[in-house]
């Protein structure tokens, strides 16, 4: 199955609140990894968990930005717009997350789900579902301030000295492994230590690197599009979207402006 068709079918299943249809995107021996809850669910466990969850909640799920694909892998960001069934309890605000999927044929061997609850969001406990208050998310993580500083330094070393962000296959779990840190602790370091999500943190380094390369290009410089792959993006469209978001103009416009500044100096 084409990755985009897989993702569309996957979101359709979530939006129809069909636990079996969602779980059927997972191979019979596959595993669904819920990172914030630190839970791993088999196909039948996922069906039971989602059946309980959907009985209480009727959220809307939609992808954000590009679907990034590699050899037998899919990664994408998403937004969940919560809506409690029959009014429900608690104040439910949009939740943002990302999923990393490893495929084998038309089904997934692993689905890794990373998401973050807004600080003032409360989700009513659901048996087998997401049952933590957002404000308690990191309180139970066991990460001390000293550990936070250690992991933060390791992270900065990996990104600045080793330029890990240039890896097109870099994911939160892979980055966590490279600095000998759990995925949940790394997400806390990035969010609490740098005030941004993993994707924003990664894009920050990639776009800054791209700006340096664009500034060094002369009027005869190579194709701007080549820079997308140089700084770690798997597609030109994802690079252009991220660059425009963070810089406010396209890579070509930025390079042209830099050329004018050089000529004027």
Indicate the pTM of the whole model: 0.53
CA–CA separation, 116 and 236 (whole Å): 28
What would the pLDDT profile of 91-144 be if each residue is shown by its tens digit? 456 788 889 899 988 899 999 988 765 544 434 333 333 333 333 444 445 577
What would the pLDDT profile of 143-154 be if each residue is shown by its tens digit? 778 888 899 899
- 104: Cα separation from own chain's centroid: 21
CA–CA separation, 35 and 40 (whole Å): 8
For residue 200, is it within any domain?
no
For residue 201, is it within any domain?
no
Task: Look over the chain and give the mean of its residue pLDDT values, rounded to a whole number.
Answer: 81
207 CB-contact burial (10 Å; exposed 0-12 / middle 13-18 / buried 19+): buried
For residue 68, is it within any domain?
yes
What would the pLDDT profile of 163-197 be if each residue is shown by its tens digit? 999 999 899 889 999 999 988 888 888 887 777 88
Residue 224 domain boundaries? 206-264
CA distances from 139 to 44, 145, 211 (A): 30, 12, 38
Residue 67 sits in a domain whose CATH number is 3.10.450.50
DSSP state of 135: G
For residue 31, is it within any domain?
yes
CA–CA separation, 191 and 26 (whole Å): 29
| 132 phi/psi in degrees, rounded to 5 | -105, 145
Same domain for 129 and 168?
Answer: no
Q: Which of 86, 111, 136 is the last residue of a domain?
A: 136
Among candidate residues 112, 53, 119, the one with its CA nearest the CA of residue 78: 112
């Amino acid at each position: 199955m084409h990755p985009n068709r897989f993702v569309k079918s996957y979101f359709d299943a979530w939006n129809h609140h069909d636990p079996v249809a969602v779980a059927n995107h997972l191979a019979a021996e596959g595993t669904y990894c819920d990172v914030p809850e630190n839970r791993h669910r088999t196909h039948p466990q996922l069906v039971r968990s989602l059946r309980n969850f959907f009985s209480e909640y009727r959220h809307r799920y939609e992808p954000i930005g590009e679907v990034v694909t590699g050899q037998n892998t899919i990664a994408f960001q998403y937004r969940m717009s919560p809506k409690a069934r029959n009014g429900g309890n608690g104040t439910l605000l949009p939740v943002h997350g990302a999923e990393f999927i490893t495929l084998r044929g038309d089904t997934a061997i692993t689905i890794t789900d990373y998401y973050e609850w807004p600080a003032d969001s409360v989700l009513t406990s659901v048996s087998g579902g997401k049952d933590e208050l957002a404000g308690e998310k990191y309180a139970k993580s066991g990460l001390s301030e000293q550990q936070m500083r250690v992991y933060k330094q390791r992270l900065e070393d990996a990104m600045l000295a080793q330029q890990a962000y240039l890896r097109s296959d870099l994911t939160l779990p892979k980055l966590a492994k490279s600095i000998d840190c759990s995925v949940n602790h790394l997400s806390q370091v990035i969010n609490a230590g740098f005030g941004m999500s993993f994707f924003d943190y990664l894009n920050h380094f990639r776009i800054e690197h791209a700006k340096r390369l664009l500034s060094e290009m002369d009027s005869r410089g190579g194709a701007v599009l080549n820079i997308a792959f140089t700084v770690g993006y798997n597609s030109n469209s994802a690079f252009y979207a991220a660059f425009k978001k963070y810089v406010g103009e396209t890579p070509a416009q930025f390079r042209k402006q830099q050329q004018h500044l050089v000529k004027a100096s």
